[in-house]
Amino acid sequence: MEQRLLGGLSVERFLAEHWQQRPLLVRGALPPAACPLTPDELAGLACEDEVESRLVTRHADPRRPYSLRHGPFTAADFAALPERDWTLLVQDCDKHALELAVFLEPFRFVPDWRIDDLMVSYATEGGGVGPHVDQYDVFLVQGLGRRRWRIGEAGADRGELPDLDLKVLARFAPTEECVLEAGDLLYLPPGVPHEGVALGECLTLSVGFRAPSHRELFSDLAELLYQGVEEDARYVDPRLAVAEARPPGRISPAALATVREAVRRHLAPSDAELDAWFARFITEPKPQLRAAAPDQALDPETLAAELRAGAGLVRDPRSRFAWLRDADGALVLAADGTAQRLPDGLQPLVELLCRERRFPSAVLRRYLEDPQARALLAALHAQGALDLEGGT
């Protein structure tokens, strides 16, 4: 499957020659019938409160060529739109239905924790969001209709048009052009300027990847470190010497050493602590996409009884799972911004939970004799990451 998706390239060759380096166009990467939803279904999603959606309309005014509105929308909003030159974009479609999450399966040659979301856009003739640059990798799959893509060279400073709610390049000099039809795929690495314009009505699926900025990483880590500082911890100098106050206003070497030691003590987490923090950070869902806890949490024995009786578990499509071996060699499972160390014997179950989306009773029974496995499944069910299906 990957070779068709990547135009006959092996995953190894694609990663070595294209990933984060240069674009790749693949004709017939997916069957045209692979589009997992219709324009009407996409519009229905955009009307829901918890769904992030946008409407972008292109105008003839060169001073303000695009306008942006945020959802949720109504049927009246869509009825009032012009016949052409607009685009509806819906983020995180994979989080709202399991069949949409399944669309991401062919792209899992990239680690799951790097996959961000499936964004789907519907556009009328001439619709687009202008030339722009993304700071993450993206696979653009044409679901329905046709879209013309123009691509430029990475690296040059092109500026952005002022006074727009969208980041549109002020200067865009495309060097390549292609038209995608249903089933075609275009991979673009970060930093490559591009513009897509609909040729008639079309629907495009964008598989985007998580690429947190260093500022985001450090900000989240700083918040974690801040929480670890005792509230009553203060600067102290019990051995203050008279000489340290001479001359007045001088910060003495002893005072500086005290501050340096305090800062280093709190800003020096172990490698294992950093590993667990990153696992929590990278699996943290958006607030509006956090899986809801069940109305009734089941204790490990009750859940195990349901599973033995034929019920299964299914991963909530909004949940994000990842696992690792930390710097101390411990097995760590992260799910939706939580992370826990687990016994080594649970690694097969952890790998299963991260690999699959549905877990029938027959698959889970082998793990139910282990009380630690039962406890893990019950904990994930209680936080909403795993839903019971087919239970009593």
The helix-helix angle for 347-355 and 371-382 (nearest 10°) equals 30
- Angle (CA) 15-17-23 rounded to 5° is 95
Q: How high is the pLDDT of residue 234?
A: 85
Q: How high is the pLDDT of residue 123?
A: 98
Q: How high is the pLDDT of residue 367?
A: 97
- How many of the other CB atoms lie within 10 Å of CB of 129? 20
Q: How high is the pLDDT of residue 244?
A: 65
Q: Exposed (0-12), middle (13-18) or buried (19+): which is 189, by Cβ within 10 Å?
A: middle
Q: Which amino acid is at 215?
A: R
Q: Exposed (0-12), middle (13-18) or buried (19+): which is 355, by Cβ within 10 Å?
A: exposed
For the chain, strand residue ranges (E) read 24-26, 53-58, 66-70, 86-90, 115-123, 138-144, 147-151, 176-180, 185-188, 194-198, 202-209, 312-315, 321-325, 331-335, 338-342, 358-359, 386-389
Domain assignments of the chain as residue spans, ordered by start? 2-209, 214-267, 287-389
Please tell me the class of the 287-389 domain: alpha beta
Homologous superfamily in CATH for domain 2-209: Cupin (2.60.120.650)
Q: How high is the pLDDT of residue 243?
A: 66
Q: How high is the pLDDT of residue 266?
A: 81
Q: Whole-angstrom Cα distance, residue 54 to residue 73?
A: 9
Cβ atoms of 43 and 120 closer than 8 Å: no
Question: Residue 146 in 3-state DSSP?
Answer: coil
Q: Exposed (0-12), middle (13-18) or buried (19+): which is 112, by Cβ within 10 Å?
A: middle
Residuewise pLDDT in 10s, the chain (392 residues) = 567 899 999 999 999 999 999 999 999 999 987 899 999 999 999 999 999 999 999 998 888 899 999 999 999 999 999 999 999 999 999 999 888 999 999 999 999 999 999 999 999 999 999 999 999 999 999 999 999 999 999 887 678 888 888 999 989 999 999 999 999 999 999 999 999 999 999 999 999 999 999 999 999 998 888 887 888 888 888 777 766 667 777 888 888 888 898 888 888 889 999 999 999 999 999 999 999 999 999 999 999 999 999 999 999 999 999 999 999 999 999 999 999 999 999 999 999 999 999 999 999 999 999 999 999 999 999 999 999 998 55
What is the reported pTM?
A: 0.90
Alpha helices in the chain (DSSP H): 2-5, 11-17, 39-46, 75-79, 98-101, 214-227, 253-266, 271-283, 300-308, 347-355, 361-364, 371-382
Q: How high is the pLDDT of residue 369?
A: 95
Q: How high is the pLDDT of residue 163?
A: 85
Q: Whole-angstrom Cα distance, residue 192 to residue 155?
A: 8
Cβ atoms of 335 and 321 closer than 8 Å: yes
Cβ atoms of 45 and 87 closer than 8 Å: no
Q: How high is the pLDDT of residue 326?
A: 97
